[in-house]
Structure 1
């Protein structure tokens, strides 16, 4: 696995919070940190020589360099022992960071940057990267209580399995417990085969709950063996997944989910639960792909 953490900066307060988080992540992983700003000219599809005079082009590039320098300084202040470097790369933020995610262990971004509409809860860059990033993507919504557990949503999907692995590794580095939460309802639970073919829709009382309890235990089994020092609290909740996870995120220092679960349409890159948490969780959210 790569030993590089990448963080995107754009001059927003959210991005600077992301820099601090990324620096601490790099420190705990003994990784290097790359502070990246995606730079594109304000006028596209035209010759820069004819549209923007050289002094203006120089000022725009200087402003981009200053954003990166500020991010590097903030990172070094947060984690002095981390190898930190910065770069200004041409292109739009989503494409630049997606390309960087192919060789990174983790990409960190703020929940929303300077662009877009002021009322948005999640910026377009964070949303696009969560859907298309090739490594785990951590979106910093607000800095959470560092004493809280790592919360992970468990659903039995391939992405959910990777989320469990990521959550336990994070908890091991932070030396905190994991709350492994699986929420289910009769609408999203897989129906066990009926005991009597003559009654194809009949199941014994409690059979659905027992099946969901088994799913949770099986989803944790192998991962818990790899991290024996991490205390894991399995939590089975009969209730709506999105609301249950959002409420549980109040006391978590980090919430981890797979990019998409068992439900929904197979072509979706980001499921409804992941999207809901990115918009409404009470702290940082990590989205992990299968």
Structure 2
């Protein structure tokens, strides 16, 4: 059960405040506690150079307290009058390790992403990558937006469905998120992993309409059980002849939340993050949940 499991959000400074705001709203939606986590180095930690004066760590501790106080202020404001239980947590050592440990007992881990520079756009930070890849609960990545508050993004919830067991957790999360937000759900089944136009397959006699009908039936079967559990969620099924990342990225431009599984069709067990999930982490603007 997830009823009393917390929403855990990493707090690393100004860039995490929109993630904190989004996480606070998520805690309200699910009537869950909110845990604000920050990490600092401590005297004697492995990797800390010898000779650094103790005052350095005192200053870091003070900075951490200020970060958490500001984060709590933002979280209370985002709760918009709802009474939420907020826990303040300070750790030492590796931020990724701290968040991964907390993922074992969390409903969800939320991390911010600020990718304005060319390096940031090309590659997610090591903490984000480690948490998304190895967390034992769903992970939400909330991109810092320069001119828009993340909680003001409107639109449906979008979920990627590949017709395998890998997308079942994402479907479950998507229905619940759409129900809590009182919005529609767009379920996208992109059933090709290659560019069919470039491959020269169109016009080759392949029975596209029959294949599309089969894929729509597969999509409907994947959604059936959850649709019965959430009768008030209006579902728009979409099956397209396209690589998943193309259509999901397009759908995300008009969505308030995108949800995908951690692995796609045919992924090796050791590949904990599929190519589609990884590509979307680098490119979508709306919040993205990766559901293991």
- What TM-score bracket applies, with the shorter chain setting the length? 0.7 to 0.9
Once the two structures are superposed, what CA deviation does each residue of 1:42-72 show, in whole Å capped at 9, x if it has no partner? 9854788x62322222112111221111111
Consecutive unaligned residues of structure 2, counting only runs of 5 or more, are 197-204
1:12 to partner: Cα distance = 3.2
- The equivalent of 1:60 in structure 2 is 60
Is the Cα–Cα contact under 8 Å of residues 32 and 84 in structure 1 kept in the other structure? yes
Distance of 2:114 and 2:101 partners within structure 1? 19
Distance of 1:31 and 1:44 partners within structure 2? 33
Tell me, yes or no, if structure 1 residue 140 matches structure 2 residue 147: no
How does 1:1-150 map onto structure 2 within 5 Å? 1-2=1-2, 3=4, 4-13=6-15, 15-41=16-42, 45=46, 51-79=51-79, 80=81, 81-112=83-114, 117-120=119-122, 122-141=124-143, 142=145, 143=150, 146-150=153-157
- The equivalent of 1:176 in structure 2 is 183
1:173 to partner: Cα distance = 0.4
Is the Cα–Cα contact under 8 Å of residues 261 and 271 in structure 1 kept in the other structure? yes
How does 1:154-169 map onto structure 2 within 5 Å? 154-169=161-176
Partner-residue secondary structure (3-state), 1:213:
helix
- The equivalent of 1:286 in structure 2 is 289
Partner-residue secondary structure (3-state), 2:18:
helix
Partner-residue secondary structure (3-state), 1:251:
coil
The TM-score with structure 2 as length reference comes to: 0.86
Distance of 1:225 and 1:46 partners within structure 2? 53
Is the Cα–Cα contact under 8 Å of residues 115 and 121 in structure 2 kept in the other structure? no
Q: Which runs of 4+ in 1 moved over 6 A?
A: none
How does 1:122-271 map onto structure 2 within 5 Å? 122-141=124-143, 142=145, 143=150, 146-185=153-192, 206-271=209-274
Distance of 2:46 and 2:222 partners within structure 1? 50
Distance of 2:41 and 2:12 partners within structure 1? 12
Is the Cα–Cα contact under 8 Å of residues 258 and 287 in structure 2 kept in the other structure? yes
Distance of 1:96 and 1:267 partners within structure 2? 23
Distance of 1:47 and 1:186 partners within structure 2? 46
Distance of 1:233 and 1:73 partners within structure 2? 38
1:239 to partner: Cα distance = 1.3
The TM-score with structure 1 as length reference comes to: 0.86
Distance of 2:131 and 2:247 partners within structure 1? 24
1:266 to partner: Cα distance = 3.3
Consecutive unaligned residues of structure 1, counting only runs of 5 or more, are 190-201
Count of aligned pairs between the two proteins = 275
Distance of 2:92 and 2:193 partners within structure 1? 49
Distance of 2:121 and 2:182 partners within structure 1? 36
